[in-house]
Structure 1
Amino acid sequence: MNILYGIQGTGNGHVARSRVIAKYIAESDAKVTYLFSGRDKNQYYEMEVFNDHLIREGLTFVSEGGKVNYVQTTLKNNLWQFLKDVFSLDLSSYDLIITDFEPITAWAAKLRNKPIIGLGHQYAFGPNTPLAGENWLAKWVLKNFAPAPFGIGLHWHPYQENILPPIIDINLSRKITQNFIMVYLPFEDQSEVTDLLNTFSDYNFILYSPQLTEIQHGNVLWQKTCYQGFTNNLTQTRGVICNSGFELISECLHLGIPILVKPIHGQMEQLSNALALKQLQLADVMHHLDEDLIGNWLEMLDDDIQHKPQLIPNVAKEIVALIMAKNWEKTNELSETLWKTPIFQAR
């Protein structure tokens, strides 16, 4: 089987999830080409697992100060280049297209009537999935940004029969906990975040973001986002403060790490994730950088409340086996099997 796998590069969740999938595809007889879009070429890092990959401009969202900036989003996206990439993408040699919310591969497959699977968190949004911050534009984007007639959704609860548990590296495990809090709020003003964290002088923080370079600011250590360093710190941290993207939170739940999330304003997916986490009682939520809420959350960590790891099954291996057997339309059966034993327990 010859596969074209499209991966949305905005944020790191899609790429992190695809790293795990790529390892299992590499063990099969399939040939795969990966196509990334939505991020500048020089902002991808540690891509060795994606041996044969293409990078295109694609479409993305621009966030400033923790909010989606729709004007800048419109100005930044080059629609002409996007259309050119869609129509110039040669799909003739591929048996199957997979898209993790990547629009070039999705639209190229749709216009050429090629077999395509949508695989990712965005394909979990249906009539029963918690929604927040929805409006006609957000719903239209979710439906049409990277359309796929068949979707395999990922979420923390089986809201629909096409939903599987999160895809993570199941080999992740907690190491000896170190005395620091990990913070990942790349869509916020990093200086503002640093100033806020500096007010909690009794705590040490490691602040990750793609635009930072390593430097110490009082009790806050800046670090540039990188796969290995980020993962190492994640397995040792006392707790995580982050936006409400799906993948990092899933890893934290798997490891039993306390989480405080701050969704991006105007981003329906993140607002909906925050709502789901609150309903499922899996994390604490703040809707703006709130000094009091952060202080209360840090005190909770000091109380040494135990958070049990929520061990996630090897979803990636099961999905790849399903795809290689060309049985992806039996996702509902796999969903029933994987959710048979409850995975995520309220705190």
Structure 2
Amino acid sequence: MRIFYGVQGTGNGHITRARVMAKALFAAGIDVTFQFTGRPAGKYFDMEIFNGYQLRTGLTFNTNKGQVSYLKTACDVKPITFIKDVKSLDLAGYDLVISDFEPVTAWAAKTQKKTVLGIGHQYAFRHKIPREGSDPLAEQVMKYFAPADRSVGLHWHHFGQPILPPIIDTPEIPQNVLKNKIVVYLPFENQQEVIKLLSPFKNFEFHLYSPGDISSKFAHIQCNPLSYEGFQKDMYNCSGILSNAGFELASEALQLGKKILAKPLHAQMEQISNAAALQQLGYGHVMHDMDSSIIEHWLHDDHAVRITYPNTAKVLVQWIQNGLPEMDTDFIENIWNAVEVLQINL
């Protein structure tokens, strides 16, 4: 079986999910070609697991000071390049096309009249899940950015809908957690402003990961370049995650039992909805602006939620090998019945 798998590369969450799927697909002996779009070639890192991959320009969203800039996004779109990318992608030799909200793959499949399977968090928004910050433009983006004929939506809870748990690694639960160690990943915020905001909290050790070359003059704030291995190592024994409201990082934090403080991007419906879901479920804290008083309260909160999710990637690979049968109620309920939610004290 040959699969072409397109992944949106703008944020690291899609790539993290793709790493887990790649491991499961390759373990099943499936021949997979991965394509990534949405960021410059030199900005990808730790991509060895994909066994060689294709890169195209694709489409992405531009942000400024923690907010999506639709004007800059529109100005930076390269329609001729996008059309060329779509036309140059030949999917004739593949048995299945998958898109993790990746537009070039999705539109190439549509143009070539090949069925495309959408797998990812964004496809959960086809169902009745917590939704805030929506507007007509956001709804159209969700619908047409990376259209799929069939889709598998992912979320932290089923909300009574035919969606599945997150696709994440299922590591052993950490035995030694450093109570004052906090991992910070706020790539869409001004990093110097983040450092300034965290500087008064000297009783905590902050490990800040940033896409740029950032330095800190404070001993308790350590700045790190983006690194999959380094980030996972720091995340494993920290007590909390301070981040934007991306889906995949929060999923990993819940799996490991880390407390969460999420700051959603302004004007980004998906992140605002993720924040609403975290609050509704009682899985994390939210701040809509960078607020030192909220951060201080969260830092001294010892409560967290640990969720044991099943190996969704393995389930999906088996489902793909079985020919993508309809997911009936029993199939979905059996998967969610394996989920365990535990309230813990750090």
Match of 2:162 in 1: 162
Matched, 1:118 2:118: yes
Answer yes or no: is the 8 Å Cα contact 2:58–2:104 preserved in 1: yes
Match of 2:320 in 1: 323
Q: 1:254-333 alignment to 2 at 5 Å?
A: 254-301=255-302, 305=303, 307-330=304-327, 332-333=329-330
- Say which SS state the counterpart of residue 326 (structure 2) adopts: helix
User: 1:227 Cα deviation (Å)?
Assistant: 0.2
Amino acid aligned to 2:229: Q
314, 335, 339: which is aligned to 1:338? 335
- Say which SS state the counterpart of residue 282 (structure 1) adopts: coil
Gaps of 5+ in 2: none
CA separation of 1:182 and 1:80: change in aligned 2, threshold 3 A: same
Answer yes or no: is the 8 Å Cα contact 1:124–1:152 preserved in 2: yes
Match of 1:244 in 2: 245
CA separation of 1:43 and 1:63: change in aligned 2, threshold 3 A: same
Amino acid aligned to 1:325: N
1:203-256 deviations in whole A, cap 9, x for unaligned?
A: 221111111356553421111111000000000112111111000000110111
- Say which SS state the counterpart of residue 300 (structure 2) adopts: helix
CA separation of 1:238 and 1:161: change in aligned 2, threshold 3 A: closer
Aligned mates of 2:71, 2:200 — CA distance in 1:
33
Give the share of equivalent positions with the same residue, in percent. Answer: 44
- Aligned residue pair count: 343
Moved more, 209-218 or 176-185: 209-218
Match of 2:194 in 1: 193
User: 1:342 Cα deviation (Å)?
Assistant: 4.7
User: 1:80 Cα deviation (Å)?
Assistant: 1.1
Amino acid aligned to 1:25: L
Answer yes or no: is the 8 Å Cα contact 1:282–1:346 preserved in 2: no
Aligned mates of 1:22, 1:214 — CA distance in 2:
34
- Say which SS state the counterpart of residue 315 (structure 2) adopts: helix
Match of 2:128 in 1: 128
Aligned mates of 1:327, 1:336 — CA distance in 2:
17
CA separation of 1:2 and 1:109: change in aligned 2, threshold 3 A: same
CA separation of 1:68 and 1:172: change in aligned 2, threshold 3 A: farther
Aligned mates of 1:237, 1:295 — CA distance in 2:
17
Task: Give the CA RMSD over aligned residues.
Answer: 1.7
Q: Give the TM-score, by structure 2 length.
A: 0.95
CA separation of 1:172 and 1:73: change in aligned 2, threshold 3 A: farther
CA separation of 1:156 and 1:81: change in aligned 2, threshold 3 A: same
User: 1:325 Cα deviation (Å)?
Assistant: 1.6
Match of 1:11 in 2: 11
